[in-house]
Amino acid sequence: MEPRFWFDAFSALLLLAVAVLGAWLPRYLAQRGTSSPLPGYSTNTSSKLYHLGNCLSGGVMLSAGFCHLLADALPSLGFVGRFPLATFLAALGMLLTLSADQVVQAVTESAARAAAATSSGENSDAEGTELARHKFMDKQGLLPEEHSESVGLSSGHTKLEVRNGEQQRRSPYRSSSRNSHHSHDPEDHIDFAPLLSAGARPQALNGLHLHHDALHVHDQISPKGEGHTLVHKGGAGHDCSSGPHIDVLFGDGAKVLSFPTTVLLAGALCVHSVLEGMALGAQQTMTDTEDIMIAIAAHKGLAAYALGSSVVESKASAKRFWSVILAFSLASPVGIFIGYALSSVSNSKGGAALSALASGTFLYVAMMEVIPRELDDPHMRMPKMLTICVGFGLMSLLAIWA
């Protein structure tokens, strides 16, 4: 066989390896950064690199949507009569991705509300039983003289405290003279330090049940061993965003990508990869093939990192992660061998239409998912912004050769 075929085969293997390694890197960084529930709030170096890499992928996807996919579609499609078909398909791709994500989010939120309602009813029953038990023990003179116990009411933030048979209402939080954060009374203090190394959420840890929107602490033994505390911290009515131990770790600001959205992203990347592979396989000279291969390899690595970051953020299992990554990794090799047999397929109107649709998916993920979520956290905001610009600039430069 001619040398170009063997070089195409080598290119297919190289692109496969680049894609697998590029997608594996964010998973590796996320696993190294598990000393904090949210890597962005840790001083761990690998956690910082993870979020900076995520910003890099946002800039890459922004450039890929405008400077690569949409730019490739414009010459072939452009206008049909007076109708801007290429840009219409790009917007349609964005709307389709948005619609799919919103459907998944609506189903997830509905299930979460139902689970919260069930949990709230169970907690109310448990709290009522606990209060009745204390009243009975107090009447019988069974409570120790110095015994103190608090029962949190799930309807709000007021505690009903039973102390030596007397009921007293008080707020579970009081201002501290030493700092601006909310703090518990000493006897009811709950040590949140173990949570900083928990590495996962939600989970049960020493009687603490952690949720994304709220924090419920059930039957927690106080440090002095004097009693139990039931605390309910709802999602509304009380802002503890200044406290680093609750809302910053478990608040609403950490919206994760849904797995169906990452599958859509992977599908768009696969289409783009197949078309790129076809273009490489269709080159007639070794020089042209080498130039295209270098450009695609650089793009493949950055795109693989972007996809890997998205799948990691969706909290997918290892099986799902590698299923998506292998499908994406094999797309370019398949395209190369198709392009070797079918010349210039990627310049057809059908390929241009797919590129335009894929550009909408890229723009949605970059501008509505990755970049806003990263910049919403003020931690390392300027380095993140610089990294976004670097990713955008590097990917835009590749458009000269790709």
User: What is the per-residue pLDDT across 10-30, written as a single tens digit (0 to 9) for each?
Assistant: 989 999 999 999 889 888 888
pLDDT of 349 over the 70 cut = yes
- Tens-digit pLDDT profile for residues 251-267: 334 445 677 777 877 87
Instruction: Give the residue-averaged pLDDT of 155-170.
Output: 44
- Tens-digit pLDDT profile for residues 300-334: 777 788 788 888 888 888 888 899 999 999 998 99
User: Phi, psi (5° rounding) for residue 237?
Assistant: 90, -15
Tokens linked to 84: 């801007």
What whole-number distance in Å separates Cα of residue 313 and Cα of residue 371?
13
| pLDDT tier, 180 (very low <50, low <70, confident <90, very high otherwise) | very low
Q: Indicate the residue type of 352.
A: A
Angle between helix 286-313 and helix 259-281 axes, rounded to 10 deg: 180
Residue 279: closest CA among 65, 8, 3, 61: 8
How many other CB atoms sit within 10 Å of the CB of residue 174? 11
What whole-number distance in Å separates Cα of residue 146 and Cα of residue 315?
47
Instruction: Please enumerate in sequence order all residues whose Cβ is within 8 A of that of 379, keeping only pairs 6 or more positions apart, or say none.
Output: 40, 41
| pLDDT tier, 104 (very low <50, low <70, confident <90, very high otherwise) | low
Domain edges within the chain:
3-107+254-398, 126-250
- Tens-digit pLDDT profile for residues 209-238: 333 333 343 444 444 444 444 444 344 334
Rounded to 5°, angle at Cα 317 from 314 and 321:
75
Instruction: Give the residue-averaged pLDDT of 361-377.
Output: 87
- Tens-digit pLDDT profile for residues 60-86: 888 888 988 788 788 888 888 899 999
Q: What is the pLDDT of residue 384?
A: 95
Q: What is the pLDDT of residue 284?
A: 64
Rounded to 5°, angle at Cα 87 from 339 and 67:
60
CA quadruple 363, 364, 369, 375: dihedral sign:
positive
3-state secondary structure of 112: helix
Q: What is the pLDDT of residue 13?
A: 93
